[in-house]
Amino acid sequence: MVLLPGPNSLYVLSVAARRGVRTAYTAAAGVWCGDTVLMTLSAAGVASLLQANAVLFGIVKFAGAGYLTWLAIGMLRAAWGMWRSRHERAAADEVAAGAPAAERPFRRALVISLFNPKAILFFVAFFVQFVDPGYAYPALSFVVLGGLAQLASVLYLTLLIFAGTHLASAFRRRKRLSAGATSAAGVLFIGFAVKLSLSSA
């Protein structure tokens, strides 16, 4: 499940390519915190609540889809800016380096994680099925499963972070490549939003 592409991994990869290893780990920390919140909600029985209450599920679903769409629009606007300034070295370098100071990678990654359709479906609906209700210490099962999931996430996002830093130099040299990659990321985020909006409890 961790290896399946989703908005979490795509965002961390883009931060690594634009802003380097340290900032990318800040974004990754937001992902891990968001996943921890979803695991805790799963352990608290929120999966049953969402399945029983269609209105609440719809609010969560469409709020998440709206946020992912807003991020996608921002990526597409950034890509358009890169394309228009591809012959202006200083402006293009500033865009490729990435990132407005107001981006706040931790907070953005946290919100993306909380509204990530893959994470919601896995942690809130599927994750709980691995816990035996007859076991005397179900909380221990959640802790062990959560620890294994987070370990897999740490290893995978670390791989993406260092891959992203290698992409950064290519993006700085080739403005069209950078604009194309950012456009593709925006389109993928729109796909994630559509997938979330069409999901059912």
- Mind listing the pLDDT tens digit of every residue in the chain (201 residues)? 777 777 888 889 888 887 888 999 999 999 999 999 988 888 777 766 666 677 777 777 777 777 778 777 877 777 777 677 655 544 444 444 444 445 789 999 999 888 877 777 777 767 777 777 777 887 888 888 889 989 999 999 999 899 888 777 666 666 666 667 777 777 877 887 777 677 665
Pick from 119, 109, 88: nearest CA to 192: 119
For 13, residues 6+ apart whose C-beta sits below 8 A from its C-beta are 160, 161, 163, 164, 167
Q: What is the model's pLDDT at position 86?
A: 57
Domain boundaries, the chain: 7-198
Pick from 3, 39, 31, 7: nearest CA to 117: 7
C-alpha–C-alpha distance, residues 196 and 129, integer Å = 21
pTM for the model stands at 0.67
C-alpha–C-alpha distance, residues 115 and 112, integer Å = 5
